[in-house]
């Protein structure tokens, strides 16, 4: 199980937020006490935090099931399509499109990286996905570096 200093992760999320022109980026990381709590996030103007307990089981959400089953990045141009995110994501938080990426280690998901686009649907580009992959790599490097430091 990894731990991380959110002050090291947040600049990566802020870079991703700006590069993909979204209103919020979020990193959820595995925890023995909660199902993928928010470790860090970058919020644009008008974006609300995703921190705090969820009113549903994250592992029962169709989009998270997709990540667990496929271990692939999920690009959703329209959140009203399949697989379905929790309705509150669109209805209460105003997310119209998203990219979710599973952060993996030794074949298991240790985290979920999200880029949330506000409002209507959006046609994500290949470059947007490249930015997500680059952010995942940077985050993973930080997690590994912190794990090495904390074990010495």
**E strand residue ranges, 2-147:** 24-29, 38-43, 74-76, 95-105, 108-118
Q: Say if residue 30's pLDDT is above 80.
A: yes
Task: Name the least confident of 17-26, 46-55, 78-87, 92-101.
Answer: 46-55
Rg for the chain, CA atoms, rounded = 15
From 89, 77, 15, select the one nearest 48 (Cα to Cα): 89
CA–chain centroid gap for 107, Å, is 18
DSSP structure class, residue 33: S
* Average pLDDT score over residue span 68-96: 93
Is the CB of residue 103 less than 8 Å from the CB of residue 113? yes
Query: In DSSP terms, which residues pair with 112 in a beta bridge?
Result: 28, 102
* pLDDT > 90 fraction of the chain, expressed in percent and rounded: 64
Which of 27-36, 78-87, 107-116, 122-131 is most confident?
122-131
Residue 121: how many CB atoms within 10 A of its CB? 14
Q: 6-151 falls under which CATH superfamily?
A: GAF domain (3.30.450.40)
Answering whether pTM is above 0.85, one says yes
pLDDT at 152 over 50: no
Rounded Cα gap, residues 6 and 73, in angstroms = 23
What band does 31 get if pLDDT is binned at 50, 70 and 90? Answer: confident
Overall average pLDDT of the 70-89 stretch? 94
Read off the pLDDT band of 93 (50, 70, 90): confident
Q: Which residue has the higher pLDDT, 150 or 89?
A: 89
Residue for token digits 């399509």? 81
Domains of the chain: which residue ranges?
6-151
**Residue whose entry in the numeric block shows the structure tokens 């969820």:** 54
Residue with structure tokens 């649907």?
121
With a pLDDT cut of 70, the percent of the chain lying above it is 93
Q: Check: CB of residue 41 under 8 Å from CB of residue 49.
A: yes
């Amino acid at each position: 199980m990894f731990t991380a200093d959110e002050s090291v992760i947040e600049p990566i999320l802020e870079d991703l937020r700006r590069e993909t022109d979204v209103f919020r980026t979020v990193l959820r990381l595995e925890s023995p006490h909660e199902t993928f709590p928010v470790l860090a996030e970058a919020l644009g103007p008008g974006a609300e935090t995703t921190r705090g307990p969820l009113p549903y089981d994250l592992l029962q959400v169709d989009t998270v099931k997709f990540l667990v089953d496929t271990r692939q990045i999920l690009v959703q141009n329209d959140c009203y399509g399949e697989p379905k995110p929790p309705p509150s994501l669109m209805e209460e938080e105003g997310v119209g499109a998203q990219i979710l990426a599973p952060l993996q280690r030794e074949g298991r998901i240790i985290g979920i990286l999200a880029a949330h686009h506000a409002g209507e649907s959006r046609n994500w580009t290949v470059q947007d996905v490249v930015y997500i992959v680059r952010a995942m790599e940077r985050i993973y490097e930080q997690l590994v570096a912190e794990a090495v430091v904390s074990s010495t």
